[in-house]
Structure 1
Amino acid sequence: MSHTSLWQATGGADREGAAQVHGWASYFGAAYLNPGGDDILLGDVNAVGLSARLMELFIDIPYSTTLTQLSVAGKREKKIQTQQQRRAAGDAQARQSERAEWQRELDQVTREIAAVRVAASQDESPLLQAADQASAELRRRRALLEEAEQALTEVKTARLRAEQALLDAHETWQARRVLGRLNPVCCPRYEEPLDSHRRSQEREHATCAVCTRPLPEVDAETAEVLLEQLEQSLEAAREAEQEAGERRTTASVELDGALTARQEAVAALERALTTSESYGRLRELELKAAGLEGRLAATGSAPTTPPVPLSAQVLSAVEGAVRAVVDASARELFPAMNTQIVELAARFGVQNLDSVKLDRSGRVNAVKAGVATSFKNLSRGDRLRMRIATVIALLRVGAERGVAAHPGLLLIDSVAAEEVAEVPARTLIAELQSIADELPDLQVFLTTAQPELVQTLSDGHIITSEHEHLF
């Protein structure tokens, strides 16, 4: 295993969390099983997540290393977001006193503006009234001009129609067209529209546009009466057009007068406002109020929560997917190890052990005599025996899975010093010898002050001394 990073919640210069790098100095606890004096199942460094990493020396949980890296990266992203939000809140808090002062000043200026506006409206009220009246008169005159122009357009159109009717009557002598009789637009049988050539033939040669037969002649007196009526209609239309034109001209002149009157009223009001002391004061207060409003808008209110960066979202999603895979693999691996740990621990002398439930965090979760018992609450001897039983179980499962990450070295000091009776102690040593035989690359070193416990070992596996101390 190479160096690994684990998140320490209180690490970093700011004590708000940082990645802590662990190497072989921390991994050594997986090789040296101290004599039960530690409260940790694996290792001798109490760092969050380290026990889970040490378990990877024995068994290979797919993607567990990737999950650790993703977890560290996700917590780093979360720390950055938290610090950004805190800085924004701190900035807002620092501006709070300034904003309160600016708000009080703005309220005062607003009250002064209202008072000055009342005074200014009283001073120029006659001019304001005159300007309003001139504007109303201008709107009325503009409406009258529009009505006159509309009327002129209508009577002009009527005059043009009358001229056209008279011209048609003079140009054709056919009584049927003059009297407004049949004027077909299509053939009554086939419903095909009549072209312009047929209509031209009807006007010029008095032939029917439908059947091309000659049209009957019309009485001349009747035609003269109709022509006279058309001329009278045209004369009336011309008179109406002239009257409408005169009304339009009058309305235009009156509109120009109303426009001039309004311009004069507005100019008088502007001169009064420009020279008014109240207007100058009002302008000064309005500029001051705008400046205060700008300061308040720039500093803003409470900071809004920034959106979660895309990188953090991706990390969270990938971590969730990888965690699901790791948890599924752990659920398949751990039951077999739990059974072996209970069996070995009982043979090593752990009394009343009902079950254990090893998890990926390195907790053994033992149940003794029906009572859940944490690892640190076990006796010193039971802790050592439980630790050795766990390591043997992990090594066997790792060997079955072909894991070669373990350094192949186990060191146990004073194997029988922690209240281990002779029979369980011999059983423990026999199991250590058995696991060493099963794993040719594994070396086990243990010390004891009771030579009779290792009599079953071959001479080549025993290092002794005639003196009190070996070294």
Structure 2
Amino acid sequence: MSDSSGDLADRVALDARLERKTVLGVLQKFEIPLVTAAALPRPLRLDRVRLVGERSVDPIGPFDQEFAFSTGTTAFVADNFKGKSSLLELITWCVRGSRRGDLQAIIRSWLSQVECDAYVAGRHLGYRLELSEGQLVRGRVLTGPSAESLRGGPGAPGVSEILSVSDEEAYADGVSALMLDLLNLDRIESASSQSADGKARHGWPAYFGAIYLPAGGDRALLGEVMMGGLPGRLLQVFLDLPSAAQLTKVKAIRDSRRASARADSDDAVRLIALQISQRTEAAEVLEQRQLRLAELADDNPEPASKVAERVQQLSAQLVQAEARKRDAQRTFDAAHDQRQDDERQVNNLRESAAARALFHALDPQACPRCEAPVTRERKAAEKNDSHCSVCTTPVAVDADDEDLRRQVLAEASERTEASRKAERAARRLLTEAERAVTQTGEDLRSAELQLGAAEKALQSSERATLTAEIARLEGFLSALTLPTLVADSPRDDIDAVLDSAAKILEADGVEASRSLFEALNAEILDLAKRFGIKDLSEVKIDRGARLKIIKPGGPPEYFKYQSPGERLRLRIAVAIALLRVGNKFGIATHPGLLMIDSPKAEEVQDIDASALFSALSELTQETPGLQILVTTVDEPLVRRVLDDDKIFAPAEPGGPLW
């Protein structure tokens, strides 16, 4: 445990073995306070919301709806898509300063005015939004002596305007700064590699994530952002842990410096990697150019004239091969036709009795005596009229001459088989001729490519270009020297001061917060059981807002591994426990406002939802200043738990809330 006597500068000087003057210089440079005062109370309570506009869907028409709140649990009850969630989103836009992405454009398009009155750390504030076509055209914040006075606007007695802007971004910035100031909250800094100075700064919207609780499926215990240790920072702020603000700032500065140093080192590594890549690429290109130049400078390449002679020879061979192919094609065509004629003759003999008696089925082309040609007409007469195709004399056919028929048909069949063999031989010759044409053509194309390369090699301009490029690459490689990584710089006085300050402030916080965390764990356990999580034996939350869950007979598990319904109930338990512990120890803590959208959506059994609503109602009665706004579709459930003046429901069943 560190010695708590003396201010922070004395204690750091002793721990870091530095002079007080040196330590003061570092603390002043980074505006780190030597002492911190206890935070003032930061209550936040909603009084009234008014929505004015015109609906474009059923029920179509103008509306002017007002909701008035008090402390305790208030429920908004309506069917899905009837305005419950959008009401919470509009409250968020007013009080948070910036709207969330869950507020639909069509909802914004209906609105012309949004008014929200709240009590913030002892002051009555009125948030006023004026919209046109879904866009903010004017945003104002009023302050007055009472909630009622704010309704009269800036002209009412005691009411003044402390913020007036004409665009959404300016309204967000103005409200964020105002709320941080009124609630005595500092911007939370964390290290980030995404910003120029290595720091991420979180303002009022980050705190608001502990007011409008995320859905059960979200894994953050407090707030909406898990990066940068933000849930733990929120927990420490809400518990007003001693030195929490100092420790947060010291760690952010130290982490930012370390991130910057790592970035410088990473830049050097990336530079070396880039130069190695450039050197490798240049060497590869140089090798390619040198090989090409060697090819062009070869003393015994095949002369272009010799390649041209081979091209000429192959061209002649291709012409001859194509001529042989044409001859083979004609021979094949003739053999093919003869085979078809012979086959037709056999068919005709089988059909014509006269043909069987004539010339033993010969196919005469001329008279055997005078060599006069046998015309196609005579052959047709022989077939059709039984007239001899040679002498035209009528032929008497003996239909019973079976021996003659068989002899004539056998001779015709033999002649047909011979023509088939001739056709197959002609086909083989044609195939060989086609193959010869294809091969010769490929050889010719290859020779032509070789001739082109040989002619290109003769061009002296390519040699000159390659020579110049090789010289340039060699010069680049000789001038490119790889840098060496500089060893890590020695730890300086700033590092020593920041490390010692973080160690001392961390020890102060641990010692002072021990009783706070014991009380906080007890409250969380009790609340979680009241919310329906019965099988709990112990919970432990640490300063990083890591919640460990211990169930009978099972190993310890962290919050993020629980079911969505359990996560939601535990998240509510933590927020309420912060307020109850704050009241017990008399410290400024959670503002005391919670907004919960459709908790039953995360529940499986109605009995669990009933236990949750009953516990919330009891807790708001037990806990001074606690205000909870909750939405649900289950009207019978809330009617059993809450009084009628705590329930807002549509005028007609199934209608819109506003």
TM-score scaled by structure 1?
Answer: 0.50
Counterpart check, 1:458 vs 2:638: no
Q: How has the CA–CA distance of structure 1 residues 79 and 376 changed in structure 2, closer, same or farther, with 3 Å as cutoff?
A: closer
Do the aligned residues in 1 keep the contact of 2:579 with 2:592 (CA within 8 Å)? Answer: no
Q: In structure 2, how many angstroms separate the alpha carbons of the residues matched to 1:448 and 1:95?
A: 62
Deviation of the 1:397 alpha carbon? 0.4
Do the aligned residues in 2 keep the contact of 1:345 with 1:386 (CA within 8 Å)? Answer: yes
Alignment-derived partner of residue 492 in structure 2: 309
Alignment-derived partner of residue 395 in structure 1: 579
Do the aligned residues in 2 keep the contact of 1:349 with 1:421 (CA within 8 Å)? Answer: no
Q: In structure 2, how many angstroms separate the alpha carbons of the residues matched to 1:366 and 1:403?
A: 26
Q: In structure 2, how many angstroms separate the alpha carbons of the residues matched to 1:448 and 1:304?
A: 61
* Amino-acid identity (%): 36
Q: In structure 1, how many angstroms separate the alpha carbons of the residues matched to 2:569 and 2:496?
A: 45
Of 547, 552, 560, which residue of structure 2 is paired with 1:376?
560
Alignment-derived partner of residue 408 in structure 1: 592
Deviation of the 1:458 alpha carbon? 2.3
Alignment of 1:66-465 (within 5 A): 66-82=246-262, 303-369=486-552, 370-419=554-603, 421-454=605-638, 455-465=640-650
Q: Superposition RMSD on alpha carbons, in Å?
A: 3.1
Alignment-derived partner of residue 470 in structure 1: 657
Q: List alignment gaps of at least 5 residues for structure 2.
A: 1-179, 277-481
Alignment-derived partner of residue 41 in structure 1: 221
Of 200, 205, 208, which residue of structure 2 is paired with 1:25?
205
Residue 218 of structure 2 aligns with an amino acid whose one-letter code is D
Do the aligned residues in 2 keep the contact of 1:56 with 1:405 (CA within 8 Å)? Answer: no
Q: How has the CA–CA distance of structure 1 residues 368 and 440 changed in structure 2, closer, same or farther, with 3 Å as cutoff?
A: closer
Q: In structure 1, how many angstroms separate the alpha carbons of the residues matched to 2:273 and 2:205?
A: 46
List per-residue Cα deviations over 1:6-50 (Å, max 9, x = no partner).
32443235xxx8211111222221111233121111112222221
Do the aligned residues in 1 keep the contact of 2:531 with 2:612 (CA within 8 Å)? Answer: yes
Q: In structure 1, how many angstroms separate the alpha carbons of the residues matched to 2:616 and 2:541?
A: 21
Q: How has the CA–CA distance of structure 1 residues 93 and 21 changed in structure 2, closer, same or farther, with 3 Å as cutoff?
A: closer
Q: In structure 1, how many angstroms separate the alpha carbons of the residues matched to 2:261 and 2:229?
A: 23
Alignment-derived partner of residue 4 in structure 1: 187
Alignment-derived partner of residue 236 in structure 1: none
Residue 401 of structure 1 aligns with an amino acid whose one-letter code is F
Q: In structure 2, how many angstroms separate the alpha carbons of the residues matched to 1:83 and 1:393?
A: 41
Deviates more, 1:362-371 or 1:82-91: 82-91
Q: In structure 2, how many angstroms separate the alpha carbons of the residues matched to 1:93 and 1:423?
A: 62
Deviation of the 1:84 alpha carbon? 5.6
Q: In structure 2, how many angstroms separate the alpha carbons of the residues matched to 1:83 and 1:451?
A: 56
Larger of the two Rg values belongs to structure: 1
Deviation of the 1:459 alpha carbon? 2.4
Q: How has the CA–CA distance of structure 1 residues 29 and 303 changed in structure 2, closer, same or farther, with 3 Å as cutoff?
A: closer
Deviates more, 1:69-78 or 1:422-431: 422-431
Residue 340 of structure 1 aligns with an amino acid whose one-letter code is E
Alignment-derived partner of residue 153 in structure 1: none
Do the aligned residues in 1 keep the contact of 2:535 with 2:551 (CA within 8 Å)? Answer: yes
Alignment-derived partner of residue 290 in structure 1: none
Deviation of the 1:375 alpha carbon? 1.8
Q: In structure 2, how many angstroms separate the alpha carbons of the residues matched to 1:415 and 1:87?
A: 48
Deviation of the 1:77 alpha carbon? 2.6
Q: In structure 2, how many angstroms separate the alpha carbons of the residues matched to 1:391 and 1:353?
A: 18
Alignment-derived partner of residue 440 in structure 2: none
Residue 194 of structure 2 aligns with an amino acid whose one-letter code is G
SS at match of 1:32: coil
TM-score scaled by structure 2?
Answer: 0.37
Residue 646 of structure 2 aligns with an amino acid whose one-letter code is H
Do the aligned residues in 2 keep the contact of 1:347 with 1:424 (CA within 8 Å)? Answer: no
Per residue, is there more helix in 1 or in 2?
1
Q: In structure 1, how many angstroms separate the alpha carbons of the residues matched to 2:644 and 2:577?
A: 27
Deviation of the 1:426 alpha carbon? 3.5
Q: In structure 2, how many angstroms separate the alpha carbons of the residues matched to 1:420 and 1:403?
A: 37
Q: In structure 2, how many angstroms separate the alpha carbons of the residues matched to 1:375 and 1:55?
A: 15
Aligned residues: 266
Do the aligned residues in 2 keep the contact of 1:52 with 1:362 (CA within 8 Å)? Answer: yes
Deviation of the 1:366 alpha carbon? 0.9
Deviation of the 1:324 alpha carbon? 0.5
Q: How has the CA–CA distance of structure 1 residues 405 and 332 changed in structure 2, closer, same or farther, with 3 Å as cutoff?
A: closer
Do the aligned residues in 1 keep the contact of 2:548 with 2:559 (CA within 8 Å)? Answer: yes
Do the aligned residues in 1 keep the contact of 2:521 with 2:540 (CA within 8 Å)? Answer: yes
Alignment-derived partner of residue 238 in structure 2: 58
Q: List alignment gaps of at least 5 residues for structure 1.
A: 97-298
List per-residue Cα deviations over 1:290-341 (Å, max 9, x = no partner).
xxxxxxxxx9987454332212211111111001011222322212221222
Q: How has the CA–CA distance of structure 1 residues 448 and 320 changed in structure 2, closer, same or farther, with 3 Å as cutoff?
A: same
SS at match of 2:594: strand
Per residue, is there more strand in 1 or in 2?
2
Deviation of the 1:396 alpha carbon? 0.4
Residue 523 of structure 2 aligns with an amino acid whose one-letter code is Q
Alignment-derived partner of residue 409 in structure 2: none
Q: How has the CA–CA distance of structure 1 residues 46 and 462 changed in structure 2, closer, same or farther, with 3 Å as cutoff?
A: same
Q: How has the CA–CA distance of structure 1 residues 303 and 91 changed in structure 2, closer, same or farther, with 3 Å as cutoff?
A: farther
Alignment-derived partner of residue 135 in structure 1: none
Do the aligned residues in 2 keep the contact of 1:30 with 1:43 (CA within 8 Å)? Answer: yes
